[in-house]
Amino acid sequence: MSSGTVLNPDEPAKKAGEGIDFDNPLASRRHRLKAPRHLGVRLGRSLGNAIESFVAARSVHPDVAVYDSGTFPWAERVEKNWRAIRAELDVIMARRESMPSFHEILAEAGTITTDNQWKTFFLLGPGMDCRKNQEQCPMTMRALKEIPDIKTAFFSILSPKKHIPAHRGAFNGVLRYHLGLIVPEPKEECRIRIGTQICHWEEGKSLIFDDTYNHEVWNDTEGYRVVLFVDFVRPMRSPHDQWVKGLLSLAARTPWLKEADGKQKKWEKKFYQSDAKKR
């Protein structure tokens, strides 16, 4: 594994699954923070678990919480562009205070964050028009073209002392990619727990994981932590790949994602109008 994905970077690399306590509930994506109280919720959860088990069993790659970045050859190509991406980020960071907080774009994020300490700069999103932002980041957009079946991309900016509580993603038909861009020291105090594994970001290095495993984030440093945050379609065996892509296309039409597009457009209009007034 890459040094960003092991429990202790001083230990030798381990094979997927080695050293994980599978008796720990966090080692399973079926772990939930709250037990279902109603029959409908229990039935829905059972159906969701069955679908995710189906997806996991038919994936091209092993079903693990954290992946060796070498599993995806495109990750190295993205990493080669990290300094150009960082240069574009540095320009954007000058206006961090004007950026929207995550929950101000995606209402669902309000279950895990409600302050202004997790800022976002969206570049791609299902059904979202981010052309204005994309124009500010041509090198980043070029690098993102290396990622097959990319669905979402944004700069994820965590303020000092920000904690994102334990949560899990909605569907394992997508996997998550982080490219470390600004990682404050000490690195040990800026971390993410994915299932039972503690991972640390490194500037210019990739971290790839399945966000349907319970995960939690801490930035206990005095600096900002920024990653290029990407969701991409999990590689599946044919013909199940088309089934997953179809399911994701339906999800993109949900009201809450349409609402996110409206909020993104409203923010962009305000953000770039203020730029025009300054000229």
Domain assignment present for 18: no
Whether residue 146 lies inside any domain: the answer is: yes
Q: Is residue 179 part of a domain?
A: yes
Q: Identify the domain containing residue 56 by its residue range.
A: 35-278
Task: Give the span between the Cα atoms of 234 and 225, in whole angstroms.
Answer: 26
Q: Report the C-alpha gap between 142 and 128 in whole angstroms.
A: 18
Residue 251 in any domain: the answer is yes
From residue 146, how far is each of 105, 130, 195, 226, 275 by CA, in Å? 26, 19, 28, 20, 31
With respect to residue 2, please indicate whether it lies within any of the assigned structural domains: no
CA distance from start to end of the chain: 49
Residue 6 lies in a domain: no
Question: Could you tell me if residue 10 is inside a domain?
Answer: no
Instruction: Please report, in tens digits, the pLDDT of each residue of the chain (279 residues total).
Output: 343 433 333 333 334 444 456 568 787 887 776 666 777 666 766 787 888 999 999 999 999 999 999 999 999 999 999 999 999 999 999 999 999 999 988 888 888 999 999 999 999 998 888 999 999 999 999 999 999 999 999 999 999 999 999 999 989 999 999 999 999 999 999 999 999 999 999 999 999 999 999 999 999 999 999 999 999 999 999 999 988 888 888 777 777 777 888 888 888 888 887 665 565
Contacts of 272 (CB under 8 A, 6+ apart): 132
- Residue 230 is assigned to a structural domain of this protein: yes
- The number of domains in the chain is 1
Q: Where are the alpha helices (DSSP H) in the chain?
A: 39-57, 74-79, 82-93, 102-105, 131-136, 138-144, 240-251, 255-278
C-alpha 272/C-alpha 183 separation (Å) is 28
Residue type, 172: N
Whole-number Å distance between alpha carbons of 259 and 109: 13
CATH number of the domain that residue 217 is part of: 2.60.120.330
